[in-house]
Structure 1
């Protein structure tokens, strides 16, 4: 992609994520990116394989359901306004149409409920089940994940080389992305056994179709390394992080993430800082047959 176009799309995505409660029509977003509305609409749709209106609507609904599950102290009305809906009635109607469940049903799903097909399936092929948003019973979770030991660690700033997965969370795309990045790192003189590998996971796959999830692979580099397209430079900011060590299956990773948000975070005295969920990979699942990683979430003191 043309680097200028790429930067404008990234600017748009960041602006949208930060302003979901505000009006986000084509004129507003394109003006923020200093691009004509006509050309911006074509470029955005071509790059994202989704119109701007669809993208904004989907992001609002996904944020809303995350708030319904993980911020239970918020009322449905407050969540509706925080996510850019004009009323709780319009919000409830939109959630029901897209996910197949009402906000109340998502907050209190029935055990073993089968997916109720909504627009999320017809548009993206994703079967949504609200039970997947909640952790397994605590005894099972502790048994699977070494008692779910959460440590709060202070991590120093790290300079990173990053590469976007073109196919989101699709396994083939993830492996291809890491293979390309690992090969590049070896050429730079960073042996595979010493690589600090960090995945940036921006979306909840229980809510978002795998190919629509935003994912970046990254490896730590020093200041002497030059980075060119298609790679980018990023930073892991210094700060306090909640860290859970997990060894097992993909389901164990998912349960650790759900436990962190649903069980540990509410009583921790912290809230999430402005970073996505991170996974530090400690092995190659294709070689070992199991996953070994650290789930990381940047924290700030609850205010």
Structure 2
């Protein structure tokens, strides 16, 4: 596999991202009128979890008969509407359990459409073999690899694994040489991306996260990610990144599973191309674009330093 080295301009123009969203890929095959109805149904499934709507109610509100919705959805998505809705609820619940350490489990359960913490606990045990307490602990003492293994169990099913993994096989990666650059450290801001998005909104596109490569296999509590504003003049930089080669991809994602799979594929590509990670470098994440809606996605630029 050959890669062409490019030199990134300091203006950091936005490239077209790769869309790593199973729903987008699946809906392409539908006629426009049916696409519109399915989009309405999917939005209801994602935006109104707390109401506890069943899939039959969602079909009716989307102007599709429950019978036809069940048949068409199952054929297209390779799971029933009920299975999809249950999986989506668990995706959101696991996200909150991992990232919101002070969020009570009962509140997470209600937010995600579960009648009680007990019903959420039963669903977690059946799907993941873990309790909410174990998942919450893993958000501190677990590693990114262990987290990825959990998220993989909640990814979109496919004949040979997950649809996220299948889509990621075509993730375009590029070897880029970057000149020296930097950012102004924002010490009082969260390192959780969702919290950053809620706090800064569209200004999140000014944000860069940098993590030492030699910490990427550590537990979450031992990974020190720094967050800063890279769209400032060089005189304001408090953290500098040395010039060098980076393996990069720009990817549009809407879920933790998509985020995890994109990174996994990027590192696989680096290994298959025969490059070594720079142990003294920083893994870089830049928010290229963000959609400020409940179901909106984020375009990330992931950049991994490599030795030539």
TM-score range, shorter chain: 0.3 to 0.5
TM-score by length of 2: 0.47
TM-score, normalised by the number of residues in structure 1: 0.47
